[in-house]
Amino acid sequence: MPDITTTRLARRGLLYLVVALGAVAMLFPFLWTVITSITPGGTLSSGPSLVVEDPTLDAYRELFGVMPVWRIVGNSFGIAVATTLLQLVTSSMAAYAFARLPFRGRNVVFAVYLATLMIPLQVLVVPLFIEMTRLQLNDTYFALLAPTIASAFGVFLLKQAMEGVPRELDEAATIDGAGHLRIFTTIMLPLVRPSLATLAVFAFMSSWNSFLWPLVVIRSPELMTLPLGLATLRGQFTTEWDVVMAGSVVSIIPIALLYIVAQRHIIAGMAHTGLK
């Protein structure tokens, strides 16, 4: 019979192999994007290759020459930061109300609010567009921002985290004379910081990668976001894929940096709220 230690090492080695293969499969598209962005455009017609004979940055130079990249990146970054901050404020306040404030019909209201997660954005595009048109807000930064101010997922995520905070802390603070505002700001928010970081990353990524709503509501080139700018790089008959991939690399860098910085908080937040 095989030794128990040998069997355990074999299982662990198999697990590491599966994880490594999964990591390679997930990283391969990003590697392909970077390789294509530094491959001369003339050689792309001969077929894809992981070996670049004459790497060049001409695609990046052309990218910054054909479109105002810094303005577009600034638009996307500003909208994403504003969306993230607003969702953190609105979601945390609503989550505290659902988790700590007893009121009639609380569970029903929360269930109805969560049901909105099942409604896709495509269903809401036309009503939102009509609303923005009547308010004369189309083709403005506010139109980009308005539909993302509140997040049902953010409320759910933070409510789960706040319900894990012992109520004895609230009671002790109440005895000391603290009200709900002080409990919320000095006790609850610091204790759910990992979940706040998780929501911040999700909100930033969602806004940064948003394409459909900006496509519908934006007309002015100076208000264009990064996904719209990348879409303009595709021609009707031909497409310079090295330039498109260079733009994709530019769009990936901020998200990658954000995730690297907040990775520890994301893992802690997901574990704290019990989400898979």
Indicate whether 9 belongs to any domain.
Answer: no
For residue 85, give every residue at least 6 positions away whose Cβ sits within 8 Å of its Cβ, in sequence order, or none.
Answer: none
Indicate whether 128 belongs to any domain.
Answer: yes
Write out the residue range of the structural domain in which residue 153 sits. Answer: 57-273
Q: Are 274 and 200 in contact (CB under 8 A)?
A: no
Average confidence (pLDDT) over 31-44: 76
Q: How many structural domains does the chain have? A: 1
Indicate whether 225 belongs to any domain.
Answer: yes
Residues 230-243 have pLDDT tens digits of 888 876 556 777 88
Indicate whether 34 belongs to any domain.
Answer: no
pLDDT bin (cut points 50, 70, 90) of residue 4 is low
Indicate whether 35 belongs to any domain.
Answer: no
**Residue 253 or residue 240, greater confidence:** 253
CA angle 87, 259, 114 (to 5 degrees): 35
The pLDDT, as a whole number, for residue 57 is: 84
Please give the backbone phi and psi of residue 173, each rounded to the nearest 5 degrees, phi first.
-65, -35
How many residues comprise the chain? 276
Indicate whether 262 belongs to any domain.
Answer: yes
Indicate whether 28 belongs to any domain.
Answer: no
Amino acid, single-letter form, for residue 59: A
